[in-house]
Amino acid sequence: MTVLDPHRTRPTGRHPSPVLAPLRSARTRGYVMCRPTEFSVEYAINPWMDPSRPVDRSRAMRQWEGLVETYRSLGHVVEVVDPLPGQPDMVFAANGALVVGDVAYGSQFRFPERAAEAAAVATWLRDRGVDVTPASHPAEGEGDFLVLGHVVLAGTGFRTSLAAHVEAATVIDRPFVTLELVDPAFYHLDVALGVLDDGRGAAAADIAYYPGAFSAHSRRTLRELFPDALLVSRDEALTFGLNLVSDGLHVVLPQEATALAARLRQRGYDPVTVELDEFRKSGGSVKCCTMEHHA
């Protein structure tokens, strides 16, 4: 079904004519996730974390299982990693590595509280035939590396270093585009920018992002690369709506992101909302819980 997007019009005389939104299509994906059996907020390494706010672990488990079931109901493959004891943030599997095909660029966490996760994820990947190159510089996996068909968008400013961008590009055979984050509330790229379509199908690559999360230079880069991107307000971004996972048609995002979900429908996507607010206590949501094994 073709969808009209009233936000995208082309002027023709006095009255603008609607532009047809692309016909979206889903592609089966492979996701890696980690059970939240160790999940809690025991320290504060981002502005969202407050150890005085208790985590309801049983509720977190129900929400996480709901996300897994959502992916599987959409036809995707989910593999599950068990967390290391005493690693409460390992549930945020996206940070564990950047995986494309049979190679991966491992992680080196900025904060020592999460350091043990990197080796555990690398071992799990190697056991499944993936050639993992350990990071020599601070790098936090898909938290700061978002993969499109023709390019990898690479965040820096808080967690992942510029040197890691250069090193990762020697492992992953795609150009890397550096984007500087400047707002501490958006400490990882995946909370400031979401990939809606990676451009590997019939439709062009498509993203949504919050401009205020980026430096002036990076905003200019994004405008030049993605002139038709969906721009999101700070209020929308603070719902963690950009911490989304898309298969090219279905966009899984937190249920609080109602305004963004409505705009995605107008753009031809099928938003699928999930309850995941327990994980916001640690500064994460849908994408943070999901590492994609990119083809």
Residue whose entry in the numeric block shows the structure tokens 């995707």: 76
Query: Where does the pLDDT of residue 13 fall: very low under 50, low under 70, confident under 90, or very high at 90 and above?
Result: very low
Residues marked as catalytic: 188, 288
Check pLDDT > 50 for residue 293. Answer: yes
Whether residue 196 contacts residue 207, with contact meaning beta carbons closer than 8 Å, is answered with yes
Cα distance between residue 283 and residue 48, in whole Å: 5
Q: What share of the chain is helix, strand, coil (3-state, %, to 5)?
A: 30, 25, 45
DSSP 135: P
* Residue 22: predicted pLDDT: 79
Q: Kindly report the pTM of this predicted structure.
A: 0.92
Query: How far is CA 59 from each of CA 245, 274, 276, rounded to the nearest angstrom?
Result: 21, 13, 9
φ and ψ at 120, to 5 degrees? -65, -45
For the chain, list the domains and their CATH numbers: 27-294 (3.75.10.10)
Kindly report, residue by residue over 255-279, the tens digit of the pLDDT. Answer: 999 999 999 999 999 999 999 999 9
